[in-house]
Structure 1
């Protein structure tokens, strides 16, 4: 391929994915990729279904027998009809001893035309008691609300802390109250709708919210319930006198609105939002066009063996806005809108593909790994591109498929450390919003340079095909074997290679398990594992939320080691 051929390829990609696999083809073909990914998506759907089931049939039935709405029903009624709900961290707690989802539901939804962060206790899961994963999930929700300037609506019904785990939640739990008061100070409204018990620390959620709605004969808000009051003071009292909705609405003043039932409470919450005088301050989307390539082809993209490279442009052109049908003049000449993706420096540092596009009408810059490894040229190109995005206040999307920065004598002597540091410096100090999608591999410092969780992306999502770790399982086990062999030789001992096989297998198995997306999502390291076909929609919802606040790029990046 000549240089001119390469540029032509970048202008208009001839996809190789949307075709049936050849007969007798193996697992590395499009057909094999699709089958493997569909199997992972099916497993993912099963885990999401478990989270959506709350505390299970017994506790769901008991809750409904009390005449109460389920947490997800409350959310559905709160949202504008037909509008989407972007749930965040639905699999948190996966693989732990706690229920998946952390006994709360968090996500972004539209209420009276306003994008809000919604946090709903799920009382079917241990009465909505908060465990360590509930806390993690609620902190992440508060962080998303803060960074994107979103009002917060708490649908409150919780028995407070999960007492057996109080040592893990009491001290850090105070941050939740701090977040509520700081949101109010930033003029980001906080609303609490109290449906049931809101006890002990849970009482401070409505207590520290800007607007409070309580359901008559449902809400019970007190620092200590009647039994504890009896033990502490000797006073005999009852729920209603101590913390009922009417008492707080008529006597204590802790409630601003008294609702006759749950439906009325949700109606009043919508009216509160309608009166916020809320408006977006960020960029407005331009005209939206469907992608040039069918998103269904994303299922064929990721090889079953992540060591096999794939062209990220195949993903980009299935995610970003396509070419306008009106982008050519009557005589066939192209206009400025004739490319879905304008690649930057296509012939330099070609293991990293970067360029400009629109996604649901929003301008974005994209950095996508093309051949896994990052070398000096790629790092320098990325740093320049990130500076340009900040110069013109444009959000950045990072698409991961990287094994990390290149190693070896030639590359060390060529300055791979300082060039990698330059890229990480640019990522760290960039102030435009970052979005991250881990499509395939995300290993080593490549995870950092490509804006992994430690670098505070506004949103981070993972595909079911992804893996993240310090390095691949086989590489890590191999390094351990080399170190063990060298250690034995230094001591004058004979290295037992046969005996070490068991250690290698154990390490490979452990690292493989801990690299998988559901394991990492369970720890709260992403905002969700998503079906690749939903990527465009999910990112569009994120960009819309981001546009609530003004976008302002960084003025400086500190010292680049040249």
Structure 2
């Protein structure tokens, strides 16, 4: 048997303390999620409802198949910025008429659904997910276009939104727009560049320029309805393919469009008989210590997310700081690389390289579970070739073509973040636990390096070194790095696809693997030159 044997003591002081710390972090995350769900606030939500309109998430709920899940993405986008949490856009993967689709909905309670710089970044990311995984795109449109006070940051890069839609269509990925309100200026090109367009009677308004701008530009007097109303576009311009009586009717039509697509998955089918893990997902709350300097065994995580807790470990006695092996998750085969003791040595890098090659040979997706402080440093390790061995691992990750999934459990520092398929290496999906931290190095280490460099500089110039000022600088740097390495900060900048509750890890990964299987899963034998 290859079933993992858990040794986690859920009654120990260490576990209880870790669980308490995790619950505190989850409460903070929940509070920020509530801000995103609240949109523009109670006043604007009430005004929207009084106009007989549905909220963005209400529209999504009606669109999706009953009781089906919705994997929301980048919920915390714009956190820590001058813009509301969520970036005035709700996006995620859900099932419509049995088809997994990327659903993108403007939140009209936030400045009329106008696009700010973070709206663009979030839009770019989710459309990248649609393209990589061959997911049909459904846009629920109600937006006044660009947020004009930030036009200098929106206008030039914003054209990519329309480019993404047309490229999806060119790749054979269906695009559908359901227009519920204003779709103005650049926003008019969302339905204009979609394959299928639904507009709502006396609600949809689609025009390049509204009546005031038309008056200024041409002297022409026009009202909203004659200039860009749904009936005009259905009868005269031909922009509307379907004419809906109300929002519910538009959603009904949208579902019928998806039903008629004849969309089929091209990836592997999961095993039909799936056994759940043998250990409780509740235990995941206490696996990662609050102090990330304290190691933990990632096998305890693996045992609680893979089918039947069954895991065939690869090279178990070699490079023991990295756990590698094969499993199934919700019936999908998967290869797992998980950091065991933080530091990656030459043995771990070589082990990972071989494992990644084998996964590509068998067309098996890879899951990276991060808890690394980076590659080992020091004269002995430099002489042993840590640079070229780390480069081998990064080479393999960079050129691997099977889908990659990454979950940051604990630390993810330095080049170790790269070798474990961080954001820059295009994992199909990347999520963080509330316990995660990611930066070029730990705050104390970075502050110490700056201090040593400053001290050496002062001594070389024959100047006195101010120890008190140095201590204050070190504290400031350490606090800054600590704040900038936390998951809400990173998620706000869309460096991950969401901060998830550890107990949801298996479900989230299962939804991702199912979405990934919409496209073919194919490995490669082509890698860069491995320096031996």
The TM-score by the shorter chain falls in which range? over 0.9
Corresponding pairs, count? 531
Whether 1:187 aligns to 2:172 is: yes
Which digits, 9 at most, give the CA deviation of each residue in 1:452-507, with x for residues without a partner?
Answer: 00000000000000000000000100111111111111111222222211100100
Which digits, 9 at most, give the CA deviation of each residue in 1:522-553, with x for residues without a partner?
Answer: 01100000000000000000000000011110
CA distance in structure 2 between the partners assigned to 1:63 and 1:528 by the alignment: 27
1:166 aligned residue: 151
CA distance in structure 2 between the partners assigned to 1:16 and 1:201 by the alignment: 55
- What's the offset of the Cα at 1:11? 5.6
- What's the offset of the Cα at 1:263? 0.3
- Tell me which stretches of 4 or more aligned residues in structure 1 moved more than 6 Å: none
Whether 1:359 aligns to 2:329 is: yes
TM-score by length of 1: 0.94
Whether 1:20 aligns to 2:6 is: no
CA distance in structure 2 between the partners assigned to 1:11 and 1:178 by the alignment: 48
CA distance in structure 2 between the partners assigned to 1:282 and 1:14 by the alignment: 33
CA distance in structure 2 between the partners assigned to 1:453 and 1:556 by the alignment: 22
1:326 aligned residue: none
Find 1:479's aligned residue among 449, 463, 468. 449
CA distance in structure 2 between the partners assigned to 1:34 and 1:389 by the alignment: 34
Whether 1:218 aligns to 2:218 is: no
1:300 aligned residue: 286
Q: Equivalences for 1:298-377 in 2 at 5 Å?
A: 298-322=284-308, 340-377=310-347
Relative to 1, partners in 2 of residues 1:57 and 1:12: Cα closer, same or farther, differing over 3 Å? closer
- Residue 357 of structure 2 contacts residue 525 of structure 2 at CA under 8 Å; is this kept in 1? no
Q: How large is the Cα RMSD of the aligned pairs?
A: 0.9
Whether 1:140 aligns to 2:125 is: yes
CA distance in structure 1 between the partners assigned to 2:437 and 2:496 by the alignment: 12
Relative to 1, partners in 2 of residues 1:273 and 1:11: Cα closer, same or farther, differing over 3 Å? closer
Whether 1:507 aligns to 2:481 is: no
Look up the SS of the partner of 2:276 in the other structure: coil
CA distance in structure 2 between the partners assigned to 1:16 and 1:395 by the alignment: 28
CA distance in structure 2 between the partners assigned to 1:16 and 1:546 by the alignment: 32
Look up the SS of the partner of 1:319 in the other structure: coil
1:272 aligned residue: 257
Q: Equivalences for 1:105-116 in 2 at 5 Å?
A: 105-116=90-101
- In structure 1, runs of 5+ residues without a counterpart are 1-7, 324-339
CA distance in structure 1 between the partners assigned to 2:522 and 2:245 by the alignment: 45
Whether 1:63 aligns to 2:33 is: no
TM-score by length of 2: 0.99
Which digits, 9 at most, give the CA deviation of each residue in 1:22-51, with x for residues without a partner?
Answer: xxx4xxx00000000000001111110110
Q: Equivalences for 1:198-217 in 2 at 5 Å?
A: 198-217=183-202
- Residue 443 of structure 2 contacts residue 477 of structure 2 at CA under 8 Å; is this kept in 1? yes
CA distance in structure 2 between the partners assigned to 1:85 and 1:77 by the alignment: 12
Which digits, 9 at most, give the CA deviation of each residue in 1:152-176, with x for residues without a partner?
Answer: 0000000000000000010011011
Whether 1:463 aligns to 2:433 is: yes
CA distance in structure 2 between the partners assigned to 1:471 and 1:560 by the alignment: 26
Relative to 1, partners in 2 of residues 1:372 and 1:229: Cα closer, same or farther, differing over 3 Å? same
- What's the offset of the Cα at 1:14? 3.3
Q: Equivalences for 1:77-116 in 2 at 5 Å?
A: 77-116=62-101
- Residue 4 of structure 2 contacts residue 299 of structure 2 at CA under 8 Å; is this kept in 1? no
Whether 1:531 aligns to 2:501 is: yes
2:225 aligned residue: 240
CA distance in structure 2 between the partners assigned to 1:148 and 1:66 by the alignment: 37
CA distance in structure 1 between the partners assigned to 2:281 and 2:377 by the alignment: 35
CA distance in structure 2 between the partners assigned to 1:78 and 1:130 by the alignment: 23
- Residue 115 of structure 2 contacts residue 143 of structure 2 at CA under 8 Å; is this kept in 1? yes
CA distance in structure 1 between the partners assigned to 2:6 and 2:193 by the alignment: 56
CA distance in structure 2 between the partners assigned to 1:431 and 1:16 by the alignment: 35
- Residue 4 of structure 2 contacts residue 311 of structure 2 at CA under 8 Å; is this kept in 1? no
CA distance in structure 2 between the partners assigned to 1:229 and 1:485 by the alignment: 65
Look up the SS of the partner of 2:182 in the other structure: strand
CA distance in structure 2 between the partners assigned to 1:107 and 1:261 by the alignment: 24
Look up the SS of the partner of 2:176 in the other structure: strand
Find 2:389's aligned residue among 398, 402, 419. 419
Look up the SS of the partner of 2:308 in the other structure: coil
Relative to 1, partners in 2 of residues 1:15 and 1:468: Cα closer, same or farther, differing over 3 Å? same
CA distance in structure 2 between the partners assigned to 1:123 and 1:213 by the alignment: 18
CA distance in structure 2 between the partners assigned to 1:128 and 1:75 by the alignment: 15
CA distance in structure 1 between the partners assigned to 2:517 and 2:189 by the alignment: 31
2:355 aligned residue: 385
CA distance in structure 1 between the partners assigned to 2:311 and 2:4 by the alignment: 9
Which digits, 9 at most, give the CA deviation of each residue in 1:393-445, with x for residues without a partner?
Answer: 00000000000000000000000000000000000000000000000000000
Which digits, 9 at most, give the CA deviation of each residue in 1:243-285, with x for residues without a partner?
Answer: 0000000000000000000000000000000000101010000
